[in-house]
A and B are shown apart, each in its own frame.
Chain A
């Protein structure tokens, strides 16, 4: 459910959500891959959020979405916008990531040949996300405490609205 609380009031606390929504992602197929990323990018653009923040959000969302398509049964992307941050979380149901440090390493991939044929599976997705987006607050993949065993919180990334470019 989309919740609009209006951009105009100046009594908003800095962490009050201006927008919050959850976008389902189908796993095991690339048929709609990128669709959620496009939706989120269009939404953020409409909110007049700066280009650089939109670019970062699109990159994070895309990599999360493709990983759900590649490695999970199903999942969702949560988007939360506050006056200070754009927060993106990816949650999925699937095998999860057993060795997180290994998975985050550049070049590590368990992609099948079929995935590689399409130009995915170089094991660079997370590495690019963490190296190209700075500063971010980053929660690496972990199992969600409240969720059933098969459900994983893969990533939670906060992008600052205001930052200086490196």
Chain B
């Protein structure tokens, strides 16, 4: 699964890191607590959050995330956007609520990996 597939399927607005949309998305992580995301997310994850301040860029870049989706119309703060552009971290925004975004991203990634083992 590549980031641009998800961007297209969910009609996300890409506001930074356009040059990294070919990146592979290996999984996803959802969270607004930065220590949690730092400790528990993995490389290649797509991070879904509603945090908009600049500290999210350090976390995404330290963890080598594929990108960040801001949900429910959240817009990155101006310094967040600056940092994201400088470091080439893709930020995507959407008006969709988190529940829907997470479900759709999960289905795309899990669908690609094969049938749901819990089904």
With contact pairs A38-B62, A41-B62, A66-B34 given, residues A59 and B39 touching in the complex (Cβ less than 8 Å): yes
With contact pairs A38-B62, A58-B62, A62-B62 given, residues A33 and B55 touching in the complex (Cβ less than 8 Å): yes
Which of A10-18, A87-95, A118-126, A148-156 contacts the other chain?
A118-126
| Cβ-defined partner of B58 (8 Å) among A34, A55, A128 | A34
A17 to B79, CA, bound (A): 38
With contact pairs A33-B55, A59-B39, A128-B39 given, residues A118 and B61 touching in the complex (Cβ less than 8 Å): no
Counting residue pairs across A and B whose Cβ atoms lie within 8 Å, the total is 62
A166 to B81, CA, bound (A): 38
* A63 within 8 Å of B (CB atoms): yes
Closest CB in chain A relative to B34 CB, distance in Å: 4
A42 to B47, CA, bound (A): 21
With contact pairs A33-B55, A34-B55 given, residues A119 and B34 touching in the complex (Cβ less than 8 Å): yes
With contact pairs A30-B55, A33-B55, A34-B59 given, residues A59 and B38 touching in the complex (Cβ less than 8 Å): yes
Residues of B contacting A125 in the complex (Cβ-Cβ under 8 angstroms): 35
Contact with B along A26-55 (1 / 0, CB 8 A): 000010011101100100000000000001
* B51 within 8 Å of A (CB atoms): yes
A90 to B41, CA, bound (A): 24
* A5 within 8 Å of B (CB atoms): no
Cβ–Cβ contact B62 & A63, under 8 A:
no
A125 to B36, CA, bound (A): 8
| Cβ-defined partner of A128 (8 Å) among B38, B54, B62 | B38
A132 to B38, CA, bound (A): 11
Cβ–Cβ contact A124 & B36, under 8 A:
yes
A132 to B36, CA, bound (A): 11
Closest CB in chain B relative to A126 CB, distance in Å: 9
| Cβ-defined partner of B55 (8 Å) among A119, A124, A132 | A119
Closest CB in chain B relative to A71 CB, distance in Å: 14
Residues of A contacting B53 in the complex (Cβ-Cβ under 8 angstroms): 30, 118-119
User: For window 95-139 of chain A, which residues contact chain B by CB distance below 8 Å?
Assistant: 118-120, 122, 124-125, 128-129, 132
* B119 within 8 Å of A (CB atoms): no
Residues of A contacting B35 in the complex (Cβ-Cβ under 8 angstroms): 63, 66, 120, 122, 124-125, 128
Closest CB in chain B relative to A115 CB, distance in Å: 11
Residues of B contacting A62 in the complex (Cβ-Cβ under 8 angstroms): 38, 58-59, 62
21 A-B pairs whose Cβ atoms sit less than 8 Å apart in the complex:
A30-B53, A30-B55, A33-B55, A37-B58, A37-B62, A38-B58, A38-B61, A58-B63, A62-B58, A66-B34, A118-B34, A118-B51, A118-B55, A119-B51, A119-B53, A120-B35, A122-B33, A122-B36, A128-B36, A128-B38, A129-B39
